[in-house]
Amino acid sequence: MEVASLERRRRLMDTLGQLAQVDTIEALVMTLRGSARAIGNADGITVVRRIGNRVAYVAEDAASPLWTGQDFPIEACISGLAMIENRPIVIPDIFADDRVPHEAYRATFAKSMAMFPIGVAEPRMSMGAYWAKTGEIDPEAVALLSNLARAASRVFDRVEGSRMGAAG
């Protein structure tokens, strides 16, 4: 196994340890923002929250600005579709996929992407990884980011469950 692959796996293991200590949604968002880009060897990462029938881009770590602070109809973007369908969506060429709102991407570096839902029963967040090139997305990146999203899903449900219990 090459050094870069070992480093990405080590980073994932470190992040999984950090997630075990997370006790707020904000801390979950910041942990994902701080680690997912390196784990996926991506040029950018976003963290998205569902708010009713919209999705809000709440954090990013990217080569250049993407959409933090903006929100979109849930059906109009891949982050929302990943939540609705409750499955990862991998897109090797953003401009060749009709599900992608192409205009939103024209001014960005993003040419390919993978989006991962977060939340076990009903995803209420997603994490997107973006690359500046088209073509097959590294299967190891998809596997590592999928593992990260599954762990984040358990944390999300635990934190939301305790927050809802405290509110009730």
User: What is the mean pLDDT of the segment spanning 131-144?
Assistant: 97
pLDDT tens for residues 37-60?
Answer: 999 999 999 999 999 999 999 999
Where helices occur in the chain by DSSP H, the ranges are: 3-19, 25-39, 78-85, 102-106, 139-167
pLDDT tens for residues 66-80?
Answer: 999 999 999 999 999
Which distant-in-sequence residues (6+ apart) come within 8 Å of 26 by Cβ? none
Residue 85's pLDDT band (cuts 50, 70, 90): very high
Report the pLDDT value the prediction gives residue 56, as an integer from 0 to 100: 97
Share of the chain above pLDDT 90, in %: 90
User: Quick one: CA dihedral 59, 63, 65, 71, positive or negative?
Assistant: negative
pLDDT tens for residues 86-102?
Answer: 999 999 999 999 999 99
Buried b (16+ CB within 10 A) or exposed e, 11-46: bbeebbebbeebeebeebbbbbbebbbbbbbbbbbb
Complete domains list, the chain, with CATH = 3-158 (3.30.450.40)
To the question of pTM greater than 0.85 for the whole model, the response is yes
